[in-house]
Amino acid sequence: MDLATGSGIRRLDGTAIGVPVRVGAVDGHALESRARRLSGRSIKRESKRAGLELAITCIDLTTLEGSDTPGRVRALAARATRPDPEDPTVPPVAALCVYPSLVPVAAEALAGTGVHIASVAMAFPAGQTELASRLAEIRRAVADGADEIDIVINRGALLAGDVAAVHDEIAAAKEACGEAHLKTILETGELGSYEMVRLASMIALAAGSDVIKTSTGKLPRAATPPVALCMAEAARDFAEQTGIEPGLKLAGGIRRSKDALGYLAIIAETLGTDWLTPERFRIGASSLLNDIVLQLRFMRTGRYARLGSLPAD
């Protein structure tokens, strides 16, 4: 399965795909060692406070459950704009991410707040329906108020070697988004190797995705420091080769403040501190927000607050 060459990503017939970005091999041992070192760095108290507040501004507060209701979405919209009811200085999150059917509710609840409305689409999370209906789902979500769309890469096609199908579906999704930003989920836990993670990252970016994202959060294996570093290096190399600076979103299993700070360190060291903004970096999470708020309360008061003092997820 020859999916890439030193000169760029190619279809099975040998013709080039999209931007001729170079893919390259991945040294897994070195990647894991560097990720472990970066994510394990200790952070001083004042830097920790700034890092936690920064992490909040980069969160996509997410609810993607079969039991989601308009009431739950409205409650999360209130949390998105004011994460700590006791402290108005805590900044709002970047976005609220919901299913397409609940986009109108989120759009109404967040009107005028500056918090973005993100919607999963393209038959999330499996993506196993015909393409026309998946693209129609994107257009409907955008028409209803979503300004960010999260789709899942066609893992079956990628693993089968059909790079053209993967690339062309993402390109079609980007066109369907119009002015909305496209985030492409790689579902890294199903790709099997760092080489496939890097390849999937490059294909998605070459196809026009604004952001590459780790996971749907529906699998046991999701975001990990080595995968985050692998994708950050792909984003860095894509930017160097094309002049286009893509975004990166980490999602799936990020629940603790300590983990969020570790990922911030990986991004800062790999892509630079300019990437640590909601425009270029996101964390997809739900329970993480409460953990950060509790940490900030402790730093402010010196007392540990109970989790029950915050809204339930």
User: 250: domain CATH number?
Assistant: 3.20.20.70
**Residue 136: inside a domain:** yes
**Per the residue annotation, which of 168, 174, 183, 213 is the catalytic one?**
213
Is 181 or 285 the better-scoring residue by pLDDT? 181
The reply to whether 60 falls in a domain is yes
Q: What is the share, in percent, of the chain residues with pLDDT greater than 90?
A: 73
Q: Is the pLDDT of residue 1 over 50?
A: no
The verdict on residue 150 lying in a domain is yes
Please report whether residue 302 resides in a domain. no
The answer to whether 150 is a known catalytic residue is yes
Close Cβ partners of 306 (under 8 Å, ≥ 6 residues apart): none
Is residue 181 one of the residues assigned to a domain?
Answer: yes
**How much is the pLDDT for 199?**
94
Helix segments in the chain, DSSP class H: 28-39, 45-57, 70-81, 103-110, 131-143, 155-159, 163-177, 194-206, 225-242, 257-271, 287-301
Q: Helix, strand, or coil here: 227?
A: helix
Name the DSSP class of 127: -
Task: Specify the 3-state DSSP secondary structure of 237.
Answer: helix
Domain span including residue 190: 4-296
Identify which of 17-26, 189-198, 296-305 has the greatest average pLDDT.
Answer: 189-198
Phi-psi category of 141—alpha, beta or left, where left has phi over 0 and alpha has psi -120 to 50?
alpha
What is the pLDDT confidence band of residue 311, given thresholds at 50, 70 and 90?
Answer: low
Does residue 160 lie within any of the structural domains?
Answer: yes
Q: Active-site residue 2, yes or no?
A: no
Q: In the chain, how many domains are there?
A: 1
- 276-296 mean pLDDT: 94
Report the alpha-carbon distance of residue 112 to residue 101 in Å, rounded: 21
Which amino acid makes up residue 39? Answer: S
- Give the C-alpha separation, 199 to 59, whole Å: 26
Q: What angle do CA 250, 6, 265 make, to 5 degrees?
A: 25
* Residues 64 and 286 sit within 8 Å (Cβ to Cβ): no
Q: Which of 60, 84, 147, 150 is catalytic?
A: 150
- Asked if the structure places residue 303 within a domain, the reply is no
The verdict on residue 309 lying in a domain is no
Active site residue 249: yes
Q: What's the count of helices (H) and strands (E) in the chain, helices before strands?
A: 11, 10
pLDDT of 258 over the 50 cut: yes
Catalytic-role residue among 183, 210, 237, 249:
249
Q: What is the average pLDDT value for the chain, to the nearest integer?
A: 90
- Asked whether the beta carbons of 214 and 231 are under 8 A apart, the reply is yes
Query: Distance between CA 195 and CA 290 in Å, rounded?
Result: 35
Kindly state the average pLDDT of the residues 284-300: 92
Confidence of residue 74 (pLDDT cuts 50, 70, 90): very high
